[in-house]
Amino acid sequence: MTGLGLRTLELQAYRRGQWVRHWLRQGTNVEWAAPPAGDAWLSFRAVGGPAPWAGMVARDPWLRHQWPALPAFLAQGYHAKASLALFASLPRPVETGLAELDYQSLQALQWLPAAQVPREPLPLLHTASGPVWLTQLPAYAGQGRQPLPTWLRQCAQPLRLSLGTSRMPARQWARLRAEDIALIGHLQPRMYWGGRCIGAFTLEKEGLMTQLQTPTAAPQCDEAAFDPCKVTVEFILHRSPLSLAELSEWEPGHLIELPEGAVERVELVVAGRTVGRGELVRLEGRLGIQIHALHGGAPDE
């Protein structure tokens, strides 16, 4: 991979770029600028707000914004000794005016030796307390709930409503005929969208009552329980395309209205192929599928 000539991005530089673009879109007075050489720099770390961040200020510009007449009355030597104490004595020596850069206190106050002052352009925030250079920023996660673009809202994935599975010996499967009942051995109603589990559902008279969850990968085969002489059958109640826009509007308890007669057209799926259909029935307290038809099973589209 080293021969590809890829650019290497530094994490903090990337984060700073994300925030600057965001602030510029919001009309914030921010720009890219390299810290001028020759100034005395005070660095700090802001904590207690939404997320920690760090920055630095040039001593004389900061003093002029706080007390415009003060620098003219102070000797240069006094600057070096007292500026840090003045900065630390104020409850909020830096006011950015940005909610994401709010803070409760400033820590790690120190003068930066000239060799440690960054020379690359940094985000320069023009504030009521003077210019502030931002050296470390939190991860940018976007602001507010942004509307999905049209193309993404229209993106549809197959929704699969699975009742559960059964594992049966291959010879038993081969003996199944129309009107026989295949019991659901592992009843686990789950919803899959794009092949990933998004929640569970319960059968109600009005339709399916859903309970969403954090999407997880589809269950994997249990190698320890694998038996080459047994067949795993999945029972699929319904399939339909579902757009991201529709899915994003779901809330826990969302009701899915099934097409008329859906419980009479449950699919029997083996290794991704629909090999039969039947009706969902109850037999001595257990759910099963009374088979209406069995066939070779073309691959699902």
Full DSSP string of 122-157: EEEEEETTEEEEEEE-PPP--SS-PPPPHHHHT-EE
In order of 230, 245, 291, the CA distances from 178 in angstroms are 20, 40, 5
Q: What is the pLDDT along the chain (301 residues), one digit of tens a residue?
A: 455 677 788 889 989 999 999 999 999 999 999 999 878 899 999 999 999 999 999 988 888 887 775 655 555 555 556 778 888 888 999 999 999 999 999 999 998 888 899 999 999 999 988 899 999 999 887 765 567 778 877 889 999 999 999 998 888 888 889 999 999 999 999 999 998 999 998 887 666 667 776 544 444 444 434 556 888 999 999 999 999 888 888 877 788 888 888 999 999 999 889 999 999 999 998 999 999 999 854 334 3
Domain spans of the chain, in order of start = 8-136, 150-294
34 sits in which H/E element: none
Angle, CA 59 vertex, CA 56 and CA 63 arms, to 5°: 120
Q: Cα 187 to chain center, whole Å?
A: 31
CATH topology of domain 150-294: Surface presentation of antigens (SPOA) (2.30.330)
In order of 240, 249, 250, the CA distances from 212 in angstroms are 17, 12, 8
